[in-house]
Amino acid sequence: MIIKAYQIAESIDLKQFKNNYTGNLHSYSSSDAYYANENDKYLYVLSYGVVVFYGYDEIKISEHIEFLLNYAGKPLKEKLSEEFTIHKSLDNDKFEHNEAFLTQINSDVIKTISLNIAQSVALDYYQNQAIQMLNETNNYTKMLEKKGRLLITNKTLLKFIGKTLIVKNNIVEQLYVFEQPEAAWNDQYLSKIDIGLTKVFEIKNRFRSIDYNLRIIDENLDLFKDLMQHKRSNQLEIIIIALILVEVINLFVEKYL
């Protein structure tokens, strides 16, 4: 069976969705809502804008996504997606690139797998955002290299810094929920699945890559703010010098004319 995950927005209002969706709610928290519906169909909705389907055909998936968009914050123009196949195994558990062979498949197992796929899709989205911010930042650093200064107004630079900080804070705010599911703490089999899939999806390495990019962006923003402060100080010094010259000229005129 194939599990499909889609990043459809930057966030989803789970509370409002839960109040209006008629599915069979299996578990709920501030960060996720998990539904175990009829005919072994499972729906997993996460606050950071990802929805995961198990047992649904393409038509039902499209219908659910259309419904979920009513509760989405900043829907994405291009949805990111990822698929993962689960096979029933009689011998042992095995994890491969896009599939897993498992001796046990139940609602908790499906939820654990769904969470890992959801995190994988979200990491792609956040990595894209971090790279885009880094590229924009590099444009300014290249300007410094070629021109020796930032040929932009303070207002433009402040708008860029503000935009970058909003995106960065949003990434950090969402990534904090990327941790081992609570059910895996007390269940050895679920823990085994979570650890296996974390390796398959390289969750920790990708998380560190995003964190590294964000730290580079932070360093550049600090530099830009220092340059802007230095520019303001220079402008203030010029104004003070000009005022002093005006005062000296006035004294000279009053004394000798």
pLDDT in tens, 186-195: 888 998 998 8
Domain that holds residue 85: 2-219
> How much is the average pLDDT of 49-65?
95
Q: pLDDT for 4-30, tens place per residue? A: 999 999 999 999 999 999 999 999 998
Instruction: Examine residue 196 and state whether it is found in any structural domain, yes or no.
Output: yes
Instruction: Examine residue 151 and state whether it is found in any structural domain, yes or no.
Output: yes
What six digits make up the tokens of 70? 């009513």
Residues 6+ apart with CB under 8 A from 32: 14, 44, 45, 46, 47, 115
Instruction: Examine residue 7 and state whether it is found in any structural domain, yes or no.
Output: yes
pLDDT band for 138, please (50, 70, 90 cuts). Answer: confident
- Whole-structure pTM value: 0.79
Instruction: Examine residue 233 and state whether it is found in any structural domain, yes or no.
Output: no
Residues 6+ apart with CB under 8 A from 192: 93
| Helices 203-256/154-175 angle, 10° precision | 150
One-letter amino acid at 218 equals: D
Residue 101 pLDDT:
94
Instruction: Examine residue 250 and state whether it is found in any structural domain, yes or no.
Output: no
CB 83 within 8 A of CB 4: yes
Cα distance between residue 148 and residue 20, in whole Å: 57
Please tell me the total count of domains within the chain: 1
Instruction: Examine residue 105 and state whether it is found in any structural domain, yes or no.
Output: yes
Instruction: Examine residue 74 and state whether it is found in any structural domain, yes or no.
Output: yes
Instruction: Examine residue 201 and state whether it is found in any structural domain, yes or no.
Output: yes
Q: How crowded is residue 108: how many other Cβ atoms within 10 Å of its Cβ?
A: 19
What six digits make up the tokens of 75? 């829907």
Residue 71 pLDDT:
96
